[in-house]
Structure 1
């Protein structure tokens, strides 16, 4: 087996010496092996000082190595200083529903503006599909990965951590909070600060005079941060933290149950306002409260968390909007900075946290005295 590896290494050296420099994907095609195999070969040869490795490309040491790999057809050679021209980034997201589509568009526009290309993989909320999509992209020779993992409740398992630490290419975590005490702190990340977003909703309601504020939250990776922000803000204001009503994203029955519970709390004087995560749930709650005889905002004020379609509700909903497009753009900026730093870059890891924006509409008013 070792002799086969040595033969392949000699073949790699022969091709790079002849070509001067080329992309890893081109080298893999010429050798007839996977990009992952070539990347391992290149790393081994670079450690021996026999090749010069850059992210996504390889060159011969010395004067010949000063020539850069030719761009693929259609790729731009223009790029800002320090940005690798023609970078190909893979992006894995759990879904392409509203929230994620905007985030992907931000990343796509950012990389296209710099002459690169984005390759998309959709995991459909399955961790095993995360693995499959990542493997496909590594085999395709992407220069780096932007990953929004399908972590249950936003927390990775040890196996999922290990996978991200063993990728072999730079990776940026997208819209996922790096767990404190976990092993992923060394990865760059870009995310919305959902804790601050939820806190902004609480403060808005409190400024209107509400003192009994509830939270209805979907059960997904974002909800723990929304709950954390809600609880922190309520406690900081000296108010009582009310039990969170969890809304399952599957089927209308859970929305019916959540609306019934909120109706009962409002009628009994236990609640005067609520934050509802997300827009779809909030719109459904408004409709069901009306069926029970309650009006928004006359009887209860509502703030939606997401702001994809909150303005389209019968009563346009005050809402918190995570900066989805900006998160996608920031993830690309982090990746290109990492790629542009070269193979020996020791730039510090960056965790970029962007603050959501609250937009006031018609669904909130001062409580009845």
Structure 2
């Protein structure tokens, strides 16, 4: 895909932000464009007040952007970088925006479309647009991404809060503020609910292409150990690395076999979209949910809208965004006291929303089996 001017401008801004001052000739080499294009880009950004021109070079302004305050004067501008604006992150963004508005701050957003190599450039664009602090949800999709794409976050020159992400223990991001859902707790309450309904070890069907999916997989292992459950039940891949009908069908057929063999009477599945598809496919194969298989899904984005409403673990997405924005605004407005205050790792607990797919009546108190007359 051909790079557009906006993306190239973001890369240029990121280069200048990291180096302070860069010759236009060097920008052309770094951006792999002609000297004429580099000069025009530099002039355009300087004209917008995003860079300073200095004798054949450009430099990062001493100020943090062209405006620095929200309308009304004195209110902080906070930037938010998210990998997507829909599905899971829509509520996080909404929570952050509502909290920022309530606190008199202005929130500006950039969406990276799950391209971790572009995150740093998007962050530079937010800073150039006047952001005085950042809420960052990096576009990590693979287990190695937190290590590969952590250094640029640690070098950011403004207060930053990680959102729904955690760095490697002992890594450069470990001492940063962060707000996230406690997915291990979410998995635990789902597994425990199914066990209290009379099931053995639930089968896990989970993706592996996001930090949430990876946390769900780890949480499942921890939940089985905590509850003393049989860990020999296979974990099934609900969405293969190269998406296609083959991988999904293989998971459905494997689950069908486990049900028919009596090895599985319950399942936990990440995420809602995959779970909805799986319920339909299992029905075609002769397995009824919840009659033959109790099912809980993870995310609770569209779970209630399935033909058979799905019991779901609901991470507190809106509260995560709200808490992250509140923490960042507090840092920005507290002066020296805010800078000296201890850093915080906030983990918010997901809830279990009981519906029809697990075999308990909707509204049944958590962990209590439905009763019949």
Both proteins in one fold, TM over 0.5: yes
- Report the counterpart of residue 278 of structure 2 in structure 1: 285
Q: Does 1:347 align with 2:338?
A: no
Q: Is the 8 A contact 1:247 1:258 kept in 2?
A: yes
The structural deviation recorded for 1:319 is 0.4
CA deviation profile, 1:271-304 (whole Å, cap 9, x unmatched): 1100000000100110000000011111010000
- Report the counterpart of residue 131 of structure 1 in structure 2: 120
Structure of larger gyration radius: 1
- Report the counterpart of residue 235 of structure 2 in structure 1: 244
Distance 1:159 1:228, change over 3 A: closer
State the alpha-carbon separation in 2 of the partners of residues 326 and 212 from structure 1. Answer: 31
- Report the counterpart of residue 150 of structure 1 in structure 2: 139
Distance 1:70 1:126, change over 3 A: closer
State the alpha-carbon separation in 2 of the partners of residues 183 and 30 from structure 1. Answer: 28
Q: Is the 8 A contact 1:35 1:139 kept in 2?
A: no
State the alpha-carbon separation in 2 of the partners of residues 213 and 158 from structure 1. Answer: 32
Q: Is the 8 A contact 1:323 1:355 kept in 2?
A: yes
State the alpha-carbon separation in 2 of the partners of residues 334 and 362 from structure 1. Answer: 38
Q: Structure 1 runs of 4+ off > 4 angstroms?
A: 27-36, 69-72
Q: Is the 8 A contact 2:166 2:174 kept in 1?
A: no
Superposition pairs for residues 260-279 of structure 1, below 5 Å? Answer: 260-279=253-272
Match among 337, 358, 363 for residue 357 of structure 2: 363
Q: Does 1:209 align with 2:198?
A: yes
Gaps of 5+ in 2: 1-20, 22-45, 361-368
Shifted more, 344-353 versus 306-315: the winner is 344-353
Q: Is the 8 A contact 2:146 2:168 kept in 1?
A: no
- Report the counterpart of residue 197 of structure 1 in structure 2: 186
The structural deviation recorded for 1:29 is 6.7
Q: Is the 8 A contact 1:301 1:364 kept in 2?
A: yes
The structural deviation recorded for 1:70 is 9.9
- Residue aligned with 1:235, SS: helix
Q: How many residues align?
A: 310
Q: Is the 8 A contact 1:266 1:300 kept in 2?
A: yes
State the alpha-carbon separation in 1 of the partners of residues 68 and 168 from structure 2. Answer: 40
Q: Does 1:218 align with 2:207?
A: yes
The structural deviation recorded for 1:155 is 5.0
Distance 1:130 1:29, change over 3 A: closer
The structural deviation recorded for 1:38 is 2.5
State the alpha-carbon separation in 2 of the partners of residues 30 and 122 from structure 1. Answer: 22
State the alpha-carbon separation in 1 of the partners of residues 223 and 146 from structure 2. Answer: 29
The structural deviation recorded for 1:223 is 1.5
Distance 1:123 1:357, change over 3 A: same
